[in-house]
């Protein structure tokens, strides 16, 4: 999960972009509105909405009103193509900014920020709030595989020994993920406390089961995580 410092750094990194870019832009302010569930829409619309809420949970932030500024949603990724997918989903006509790090070990990051009270208010209904790192508890989407795929794409880990894990500062969020895994694949993962964070790590066998559920019929995903997931699944067939 994002820690508070990272969220603050993300905001600082786009301050110049936010202050200098005043051209009126368009965005779908109902992209995360729960009313979507009552409408006659394609299943892929619901899938994308739930996926991006998961991705924002892992690699984004929301900002409350400040002075005369509206609430805002921010998202950062080293994968430019994925940020472009998000921009298309949001029907956003603004720009994507780029942040270059001085460290040789850091990749460039692509950042998008959208100012909208309606969007942020919708996200808050799902439990996404400012400084969410240590106390987030997701609402309504706990049983959504699309949500958890988004979370894993953003902030989960598929290790070299072919195990999925997530790390979060919120004990309740770790418990929610563990409950979803239990419900989805019939096996209870352990939650480990490591200083101020909680870690949920699956066995190799349960990782394969979970990755099949999350990725095999998915329509939206982070390309490099999808490739890792497929490699793990294929390896399990050969083993």
Q: Report domain extents, the chain.
A: 4-133, 145-238
Phi-psi region of 131 (alpha: psi -120 to 50; beta: other; left: phi over 0): left
Which pLDDT tens digit goes with each residue over 80-102? 999 999 999 999 999 999 988 77
Looking at the structure, give the CATH architecture of the domain made up of residues 145-238: Roll (3.10)
Q: In angstroms, how far apart are the furthest CA atoms of the chain?
A: 59
Give pTM, 2 decimals.
Answer: 0.87
Let me know if the fold of 4-133 is the same as that of 145-238: yes
Q: Which residues contact 238 (CB under 8 A, 6 or more apart)?
A: none
pLDDT in tens, 97-121: 998 877 766 788 999 999 999 999 9
Q: Which parts of the chain have pLDDT scores under 70?
A: 1-23, 67-68, 104-105, 239
SS3 content of the chain, % helix, strand, coil (to 5): 50, 15, 35
CATH number of 4-133, picked from 3.10.28.10, 3.50.50.100, 3.30.300.20, 3.90.1710.10: 3.10.28.10
- In angstroms, the first-to-last Cα distance of the chain is 32
Cross-strand bridge partners of residue 112:
75
Give the up-direction half-sphere exposure of residue 61: CA atoms within 13 A in the CB hemisphere.
22
* pLDDT at residue 237, as a whole number: 84
């Amino acid at each position: 999960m994002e820690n508070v410092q990272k969220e603050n750094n993300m905001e600082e990194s786009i301050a110049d972009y936010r202050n200098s870019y005043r051209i009126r832009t368009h965005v779908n302010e109902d992209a995360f509105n729960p009313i979507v569930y009552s409408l006659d829409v394609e299943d892929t619309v619901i899938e994308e909405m739930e996926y991006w809420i998961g991705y924002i949970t892992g690699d984004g932030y929301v900002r409350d009103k400040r002075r005369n500024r509206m609430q805002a949603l921010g998202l950062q990724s080293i994968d430019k193509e994925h940020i472009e997918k998000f921009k298309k989903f949001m029907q956003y006509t603004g720009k994507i900014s780029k942040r270059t790090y001085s460290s040789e070990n850091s990749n460039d990051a692509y950042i998008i920020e959208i100012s909208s009270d309606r969007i942020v208010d919708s996200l808050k209904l799902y439990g996404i709030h400012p400084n969410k790192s240590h106390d987030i508890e997701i609402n309504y989407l706990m049983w959504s595989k699309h949500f958890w795929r988004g979370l894993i794409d953003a902030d989960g880990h598929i290790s070299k020994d072919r195990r999925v894990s997530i790390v979060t500062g919120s004990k309740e969020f770790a418990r929610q993920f563990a409950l979803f895994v239990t419900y989805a694949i019939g096996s209870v993962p352990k939650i480990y406390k490591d200083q101020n964070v909680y870690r949920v790590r699956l066995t190799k066998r349960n990782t394969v089961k979970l990755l099949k559920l999350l990725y095999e019929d998915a329509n939206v995903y982070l390309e490099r995580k999808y490739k890792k997931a497929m490699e793990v699944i294929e390896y399990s067939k050969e083993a």
